[in-house]
Amino acid sequence: MDNKKSEGQAAALPPSNERPTLKTIAFMTGLGITTVSRALKDAPDISAETKERVRLVARQIGYQPNRAGVRLRTGKTNVISLILSLEEEIMGLTSPMVIGISEILASTQYHLVVTPYRTQGNALDPVRYVLETGAADGVIISRTEPKDPRVALMMERNFPFATHGRTEMGFSHPYHDFDNERFAYEAVRRLVEMGRKRLILLQPPPYLTFYLHMRGGFERGVRDFGATAVPFNTVNLDNSLLDIREAAEGVFSGPDAPDGIVSGSGGGAVALIAALEANGLKLGQEIDMVSKEPHMFLQWLRPEVVTMREDIRLAGRELAKAVIARIEGIPPEELQTLSYPIPTE
C-alpha cells in the first residue's frame, strides 16, 4: 500500500543493460523522470543536492540524451547542414572546409550533415529540403550570389544560416569571406612593381559575389598603378583546367598578349602556367604571375609565382561558429568576419 510511492514513474522498470535513458537514472536515483530531465538541464525548481546526485549518476553510467527523442519532442535537431555542390571544385576546397567545421562542432552537441545538390541550377533544392523537413538547425552555404535566392528564402523564414561569401541584398546576415578585393588589388600592385603592364585576371564566374570583389580590386589596381586590363572572359574559375589552359593558350599566342597574370585559384594557375610555357614564355622573364596557393605546389614547383594563401579551414571554423551563434540568437551584425590574404614567403 505504502509502496504506491514507489509505483510512480521512476520504479516502473529495472535498469536493464541497454543504453541508459532518463528512466534508468530515475530508477537509480528514485526520482521521477521529469525531475531527472529538469535536473540535467539545471532548472531552477530542482534542489542543488538533487541536481548533483543526478549529474553524478548520469556521468557514472554514461548517459547521453537520445537525439531522436529530443528531436521529436522539441524539433531541435542538433544538426548543422553543409550544402555542397557535387560538381564543385577542381581543387578540393571541401576538405579543409569540412575539417574546419568539424573542429568546431566536435566540442558541441552538433553533428555535421553534408547535403549535396547536383548542378548549378538546383542550388535552391537542398535549402528547401532543409527548411521543409526541418533537417537541421542551421545551414552553411557557399558560392553566394549578390542577390542570392537561398539567402532570401532563409531570411524570409528566419532560419539560421551562414554564408561563405557576402551578398548585396540590403540586410545583414552571418558570413565569412576572404577579401578578394584586396587580393586582386595587391596582386596588381605586385605585378606593376615587377614592371608588368598588360594584365589578365582568371576570375570567378560573373554571377558569384566574389566576382565583383575580385574584379573590383583588379580594376582599382589597374587604375591606381597604371596598368592595362587585357580581356580574358571566355573562361573562369568554374571551367575545367583543360578549358582554362586552352583559352589561355589562345590569349598568349594572340596579338597584344598579356605580360602579367592574376590567378584566382591555385588550380587555375597550373593551367595558366602550362599554357604560357606551351607558348614558349617563361615566368619571371617575359611574364609574371600572382596566384592563390592552396598548398606548396606553386611555391616549390614555380617559385617565380608570387603566391598568397587563403585559409579555408579557418573559414570553416568561422562559419561553424557563426551559425551556432546565430542559432543562439546573436544578432547577425556580430557574425560577419573577413579574412585576408596571407603572404607566403
Partner DNA sequence: CAAAACACCTGTATCGTTACAGATTTATAG
Partner DNA sequence: CTATAAATCTGTAACGATACAGGTGTTTTG
Binding region for a second copy (CB under 8 A): 19, 62, 64, 66-69, 71-72, 77, 84, 86, 88-96, 98-99, 102-103, 106, 111-116, 118, 132-135, 241, 245, 267, 270-271, 273-274, 295-297, 300-302
Name the nearest CA neighbour of 327 among 128, 177, 159.
Answer: 159
Residue 85 vs 236, nearer CB to a second copy:
85
Q: What track of x and - describes contact with DNA for positions 40 through 59 (by CB under 7 A)?
A: xx---xxxxxx---------
Name the minimum Å distance from CB 249 to a second copy. Answer: 12
Output the DSSP codes for 136-194.
-SEEEE-S--TT-HHHHHHHHTT--EEEES---SSS---EEEE-HHHHHHHHHHHHHHT
Choices 15-23, 145-153, 186-194, 217-225 (CB under 7 A): range interacting with DNA? 15-23
Name the minimum Å distance from CB 33 to DNA. Answer: 5
Q: Residue 141: CA atoms inside 13 Å, Cβ hemisphere, count?
A: 27
The residue within the footprint of DNA, chosen from 2, 3, 15, 23 (CB under 7 A), is 23
Binding-site partner at residue 112 among DNA, a second copy, none, CB < 5 to 8 Å by type: a second copy
Binding-site partner at residue 274 among a second copy, DNA, none, CB < 5 to 8 Å by type: a second copy
Could you give the CA distance from residue 99 to residue 181 in angstroms, rounded to a whole number? Answer: 26
Name the nearest CA neighbour of 268 among 285, 303, 286, 243.
Answer: 243
Does 85 contact DNA by CB under 7 A? Answer: no
Contacts of 340 (CB under 8 A, 6+ apart): 178, 179, 182
Binding-site partner at residue 295 among a second copy, DNA, none, CB < 5 to 8 Å by type: a second copy
Residue 127 vs 212, nearer CB to a second copy:
127
For residues 138-174, b (16+ Cβ closer than 10 Å) or e, as one string?
Answer: bbbbbbbbbebebbeebbeeebbbbbbbbbeeeeebb
The residue within the footprint of DNA, chosen from 28, 33, 276, 319 (CB under 7 A), is 33
Does 315 contact DNA by CB under 7 A? Answer: no
* Residue 116 DSSP code: E
Q: Which three cell numbers stand for residue 294?
A: 592552396
Q: Which residues lie near DNA (CB under 7 A)?
A: 8-10, 18-19, 21-23, 30-35, 37-38, 40-41, 45-50, 65-66, 68-70, 72-74
